[in-house]
Every structure is written in C-alpha cells, then in structure tokens.
Structure 1
Amino acid sequence: MSEDHWSGIAGIWSEVWGATAEPAWRAVLDASGAGPGARVLDVGCGGGEFLAYAQSRGLSTAGADPAPGMLALAAARVADLREAGAEDLPWPDASFDLVTAFNSLQFAEDTDDGLAELIRVTAPGGHVAVANWAERALNDLDAVEQALADGPPAPDGDLRVPGGLEELLEDGGLTVIAAGLAEVPWRVPDEATLVRGILLGEDPGLTPEVIGAARAYRNDGGGYLLVNHFRFAVGRRMA
C-alpha cells in the first residue's frame, strides 16, 4: 500500500485496528526487559497506539511512519515523530535501547535493508523487535478475507511462517532472545464496525458478502470475535 493510501484510511485503521496488537506489544516489552526511562523507537508507528502504551510503562518514545495521515494521528500521543520509512531513519547511530516494527517491516522495499536501519539506530546491547501477522491458518480474519476473494490465497510470506522472523534477525547479526506467538483477538461490537474494519471504506457493495463471510464468528449479542495471531521475535545487538 502507498503512503497516500495509508493516509487516506488512517482514521478508520486507528479506530478499528489500532489497539488490536496489544498482546504482541506486551510480549515484546516483557521480552526486551525495557523499563522506565528506556528509549524506544517504533518504525511504522501508525497512529501511535503502541507508543502511548509504551509511555504508560514509563518509556521514552519516538516514532517513524511514511504516511503523513498516520503521523497526524500519532502527534496527539507522541512528541518525537519523523516522516520516514524503515530504510532511511533520520536518527543518529545507537539512539535507542529498543527499536520495534509491528506489522510494518514487511512493507519495506527490502526487508534486509530495513532491518539494517533498525539495527543501526539501536544502541549496542539494545534490542530490535519485529512482529507481524502469523500464517493464514492461524487467523480467523484471513478466513473471512479468503471468502471474499476470487481466487486461491497467496502463499504465506517468509516472515509469517514459523522461524521466519528468527532467521531474519539472525541473518542481520542479532542474537535472538525471544520469539513466539501472541493471540490477538479482534472484538467487534456490531456489523457496521465489522464492515468498516474489513473494507476500510472501500467497495461498500461488498457489505452483504462481508457479513455472510463472518457469520461463524458472530455472537448472540450481535458482535463478532475473530481470533488471530501475531508472530514476534526479539533480538539483541551485541555490545
């Protein structure tokens, strides 16, 4: 997706999806040992939801995102924001104790180059953490999206499968200290929110198809629960 596209859907994305990855945030911060006063940079920070969470745990925060619309939302939460992608981070070497990329590094033109930049701005002894959607078989959301698709699903990318994130970090010269799965349930209060979250403001004519595809996940109160998973891995930059 382009920066213009992400800017255009920033409000919907932040409202419906912004806090969904909180279990992965918690797993990453716990694994890294980042405590009060630690400096954390979130690459692909979106609306700043993770950084607000990190601030609640006493961390000093900064964020980068290539989409101006996302940064406009994040500005209400974070002071140090830069318009930048993973491959060109405008901070000096060794600026942060922890650098994170939640559901963002896979959008870099070259993930190895993006990871190298994350490592460059990480202090020796600090940590780099990457997290993204797990393989499709572990996500109810993918089952819904496939029901709307015309053809067979695309194969899972290298970073979604078991061991993929660990291999990426190790190839970058990091020592992997933790990796795993985080369950990230998507709780939707009603049909309108479900449709907004799936279609993100596009193709309103698909509304009946979305509701039909998600029928198995509807509860008696009219809401929906889709159980999904993120994979995460945390690596240490050697001193």
Structure 2
Amino acid sequence: MTSSQHETPLQRDATEAFDAAERSMWKGRTEAYAGSFARLCAHPVEALLDAAGVGADTRVLDVGTGTGTAAVAARARGARVSAVDADAGMVAAARARGIDARTAGLPELPYSDGEFDAVVGNFVLNHVGRPRTALAELHRLLRPGGRIAVTTWSARRGAGQDPLGRACEAGGAVPPPYLPRLDPVQDWPRTPQGLAQLLDGAGFVASEAAELAWDHRAGVEEWWSGAAGGVATVGLVVTSQDPETVARIRREYDRLSAEHTVAEGQFGPSAHRAARLGTATVGLRRP
C-alpha cells in the first residue's frame, strides 16, 4: 500500500494543493531561473555525481533536471544520461543542450524497473508533495546495488538570500494564500539525520547525509531578477503584490543588500550550510 492510500481526505487535498502550487510556481519561469538561481543550485552538482558514483557508461537518471545542469555534467563524465522534469519549459531547455529529457513528474516516471545504475536529484525532493513515495519510485528504477544521491536545502539561508526575505517583510508584502505548504505528515526533519532516515524509509540501505557549504557571489540585479521573475517561493510573494508594494520591496532590497555588498553590485558569500547531500544504495537481492 502506498503512502497516499494511508492519507485522510484532508491530507490528500493538502498534498495535491502543494503539488499544484509547485507546478504553477515553475511554469513559464525557465528563463528567469536560468538567469538567477540556476548558478546557486549548480554548486553541489559535482559532489552529487561523485556520491552517486557517476562515471563512464553509468546509466544515470537526473530527476528534476531543470535546465539540465547535472545531466550535462554527467554526460561530460561519459555517462549515459536520461533526465526528467515536471515543467515542459525546463525540459525544452535541457533538450536544447543535447540531453535526452522527458516531461514527467514524481512520483510516477516512465521507466522500467532497475533501468538505471544511478539516480541523482538536485533540489527536487523539496518540490514534491509525497517525498517518501517519490523516493520509493526512484528505488524502483535502480538496479540492485545502484546508488541514489539527492540534495535538499538547509533551513538556514545564506547572506545573499537574506535581503530578499527581509525586504518583503519591510515592504509590507502579504504572502499569497497559494504558497506551497507541505502537509506536516509528509514532512521530515530537515537535518542530515532526517534525510538519511527518509532514504532508509524508502527501502535504501547504507543511507548517509552530510551538510554541504559553498561561497556564491552574485550581482544584486541577479538576485532581484529571480524574485521579480517569480522564481521560487520568494518570487511568488513578490509577483503577487500590487505595483506600489513591489516598488517598496525593491527600495528595501536595495537598502538591505548594501549590508552584504563586497564589490560593486556583488554580494559576498551567500550560502552558508546551504544544502544537505544524501546518498544511499539499493540493497542487493539474495539469490
């Protein structure tokens, strides 16, 4: 029995609302994402591929590929790469980079049991309403002994991201009612241990997780373009406001961003303990 079959009607409604809000949040945002937060999200890619054991001839699936950053990096290692994303615009961007990408979303993917040696998911689990069911689906796609590696955001924001949230508050932004809100029953402890336990619960073995940290410098306009373009939760908040409120948010953002500017138009390190990397293996079947 799947986890969705254990849900009450209210829990099912909450999960479906979360998934619908996520789909809406990313629809039509490909260019805005590529010009803003994509660079931030790219930092863990090499560590992600290392953790999954991706190398020459590895059959690898990149789940939630976005514009194809992890898939392109895996291909550069000589891997045989497939990719999926729930958003057609993201899939088109990945295909434009030569990636075999399909439009599909967790928890149901169009591949056979045991088709892959490795699965990677760079910041995808935090965008699905049933993370345990999603991981069980990825377990299905891996061969015995295959490896999975996923990243999720830390609850702690980096310095460069902080002015956006503070500017929304100072500018009087009112969060819209359709922000994605994960049902508490589906949530997990946002710690390395919590992520490892989430993998264990999906049937993986030798699960482990650790914090990743990196320095990311981005222009003031680069950060703002993502929010103004509707990317991620902060983007939903900004774009849902009336023009006067958006103008106030921008003024506050310009004021607050000066606290973190280390060079003209550039933020300093903006991601401290920004992500968690979890890895696990599919247990070998006994003869």
Alignment TM-score, normalising by the size of structure 2: 0.74
Letter in 2 for 1:200: G
Q: Give percent identity, aligned residues only.
A: 27
Match of 2:267 in 1: 224
2:123 and 2:152 in contact (8 A); partners too: yes
Residues 201-212 of structure 1 aligned to structure 2 (within 5 Å): 201=230, 202=239, 204-205=246-247, 206-212=249-255
Match of 1:147 in 2: 166
Q: 1:32 to 1:100 in 2, by over 3 A?
A: closer
Report which stretch shifted further, 112-121 or 76-85. Answer: 76-85
2:136 and 2:203 in contact (8 A); partners too: no
Match of 1:20 in 2: 40
Task: Say yes or no: does 1:162 pair with 2:192.
Answer: yes
Distance 1:214 1:178 in 2: 36
| Two-structure CA RMSD over aligned residues (Å) | 2.4
Match of 2:26 in 1: 6
Extract unaligned runs of 5+ from structure 1.
Answer: none
Distance 2:275 2:85 in 1: 20
**SS at 2:162's partner residue?**
helix
Task: Say yes or no: does 1:82 pair with 2:102.
Answer: yes
Return the index of the structure with the highest Cα Rg: 2
Match of 2:204 in 1: 174
Distance 2:167 2:138 in 1: 36
Task: Say yes or no: does 1:199 pair with 2:228.
Answer: yes
Q: 1:210 to 1:16 in 2, by over 3 A?
A: same
**SS at 1:131's partner residue?**
strand
Q: 1:80 to 1:217 in 2, by over 3 A?
A: same
**Stretches of 4+ moved more than 6 A in 1?**
none
Match of 2:70 in 1: 50
| Structure 1 residue 113: Cα displacement | 0.7
Residues 80-159 of structure 1 aligned to structure 2 (within 5 Å): 80-136=100-156, 139-141=158-160, 143-150=162-169, 158=188
Extract unaligned runs of 5+ from structure 2.
Answer: 1-20, 174-180, 231-238
2:115 and 2:141 in contact (8 A); partners too: yes
Distance 2:98 2:61 in 1: 11
Distance 1:163 1:96 in 2: 26
**SS at 1:21's partner residue?**
helix
Distance 1:98 1:124 in 2: 10
Report which stretch shifted further, 101-110 or 169-178. Answer: 169-178
Letter in 2 for 1:143: D
Letter in 2 for 1:16: S
Spell out, residue by residue over 1:29-72, the C-alpha distance to the aligned partner (whole angstroms, 9 max, x if none): 22232211101111111111111111112111111111111111
2:200 and 2:207 in contact (8 A); partners too: no
Distance 1:115 1:78 in 2: 27
Letter in 1 for 2:166: A
Distance 1:220 1:108 in 2: 37
2:125 and 2:131 in contact (8 A); partners too: yes
2:192 and 2:278 in contact (8 A); partners too: no
